[in-house]
Amino acid sequence: PDAIICTGRSDYPNQVNNVLCFPFIFRGALDVGATAINEEMKLAAVRAIAELAHAEQSEVVASAYGDQDLSFGPEYIIPKPFDPRLIVKIAPAVAKAAMDSGVATRPIADFDAYIDKLTEFVYKTNLFMKPIFSQARKDPKRVVLPEGEEARVLHATQELITLGLAKPILIGRPSVIEMRIQKLGLQIKAGVDFEIVNNESDPRFKEYWSEYYQIMKRRGVTQEQAQRAMIGNHTAIGAIMVQRGEADAMICGTIGDYHEHFSVVKAVFGYRDGVHTAGAMNALLLPSGNTFIADTYVNEDPTPEQLAEITVMAAETVRRFGIEPKVALLSHSNFGSSNSLSASKMRETLERVRERAPDLMIDGEMHGDAALVESIRNDRMPDSPLKGAANILVMPNMEAARISYNLLRVSSSEGVTVGPVLMGVSKPVHVLTPIASVRRIVNMVALAVVEAQTTPL
């Protein structure tokens, strides 16, 4: 047709609701100090809405509307009001139209920065991840995603392509992946935007299982078990691809148990040079500031040597986000108030870290409140080298780390998380958890890309 007319009545599917237009027209107008809302600005809003109607569906909208078909058609010719992209698309279009038509009193000089600022309303991690995204776009790498049939992974793949962050490789059955892409209303195409490795019939599987067998044969794995792993264990397939240089990085763990995935990763890759342990760290983007907690997933009761390595690796990782690390070693003991095994372990960790990284701002062992509030810390230790609030909290064991992380995560309504970040493995690989959102997958792929840019083959 030459035109599609929407209804103004709420009892029909495609009602053009005020909530779809007014907030974003006003936002764009106010951001440039428009003296009027003219026809050019209204048309810009309409065109932006029309473009969104044709775009792939966001995961937020798909989750809100369940099994409804949300691809462009008779029942869907305008975006849903829950679409988080409305502010990012409509407001800039209106602002630009105001500038072009001469009614803007405060023209925007840097439109990319303006859009980034609007994106922060949609994705709370946007500002935090900005240095990682910028670096990833310079040289996108091949990242294998073993759970390629998962809806969240497919949504993340769409985001990765749209943002230009990576070259995704999905493991799964092509027919299932294609069917789900259509059902989700995504605009990505196998062989064009991403590669599929068919876990049932890839011609390279004999080479894969042979290599996997060579790695695992002295760990109780038979040739038959190695063959089965290359069919049933997608993480093992992805790991071998990275090991063979057919992918640069891997993100797994959106299905299944963390430690099952990690055991494969550890067996295939081992530790990086000079490191004798691995560790996991989660970032919490809280209203009070960014806080990193380690070791949340890998070592149940790490030794002082392991904690020292984890601490140094955590500081290196935090620097990738453009943040200067400030480390607190936490304990029930406060600067020598107890001689328990746990407190002694943290004191010994401090000594070992200072030997390895003498310039790192670190202190301990200390209580949690002393780590985050300088005045409390100064009452007990006025000459502490740690200044301000610590942003890396190293716990004495996994139990303390996981409890602290989950309590902080749910206690703040605005708390947003990134991770877990796997540290110490010889390749850029991260193991997520089943609660990982689409945005968390995207964030971790971007981090893996940046790591792959600096990891020797």
- Put residue 185 in one of left, alpha, beta given phi > 0 → left and psi -120 to 50 → alpha: left
Same domain, 262 and 244: yes
Which residues of the chain, if any, have pLDDT below 70? 1, 3-20, 56-77, 79-82, 120-124, 126, 412-415, 456-457
The CATH number of the domain holding residue 311 is: 3.40.50.10750
DSSP state of 38: -
Same domain, 106 and 230: no
Same domain, 288 and 251: no
Q: Residue 112: its pLDDT value, please? A: 85
Same domain, 265 and 283: no
Contact in structure between 431 and 238 (CB atoms under 8 Å): no
Q: Residue 248: its pLDDT value, please? A: 97
Same domain, 297 and 399: yes
Instruction: List, in order, residues 6 or more apart from 318 with CB less than 8 Å away.
Output: 292, 324, 325, 391, 392
Q: Residue 357: its pLDDT value, please? A: 96
| 455 is a domain residue | no
Same domain, 319 and 411: yes
The CATH number of the domain holding residue 44 is: 3.40.50.720
Q: Residue 75: its pLDDT value, please? A: 64
Q: Residue 287: its pLDDT value, please? A: 75
Q: Residue 64: its pLDDT value, please? A: 46
Domain boundary among 65, 96, 122: 122
Same domain, 78 and 166: no
Q: Residue 272: its pLDDT value, please? A: 94
| 47 is a domain residue | yes
Domain boundary among 269, 302, 329: 269
Query: How many beta carbons lie within 10 A of that of residue 25, not counting itself?
Result: 24
Same domain, 226 and 329: no
| 452 is a domain residue | no
Q: Residue 131: its pLDDT value, please? A: 85
Instruction: For 218-253, write each residue's pLDDT tens digit.
Output: 888 899 999 888 888 999 999 999 999 999 999 999
| 438 is a domain residue | no
Q: What's the total number of domains in the chain?
A: 3
Q: Rounded to two decimals, what is the model's pTM? A: 0.79
The CATH number of the domain holding residue 147 is: 3.40.50.10950
Spatial separation of the C-alpha atoms in residues 61 and 66, rounded to whole Å: 8
| 7 is a domain residue | no
Q: Which range of residues forms the domain containing residue 66?
A: 18-122
Same domain, 301 and 407: yes
Same domain, 155 and 103: no
Same domain, 44 and 96: yes
| 97 is a domain residue | yes
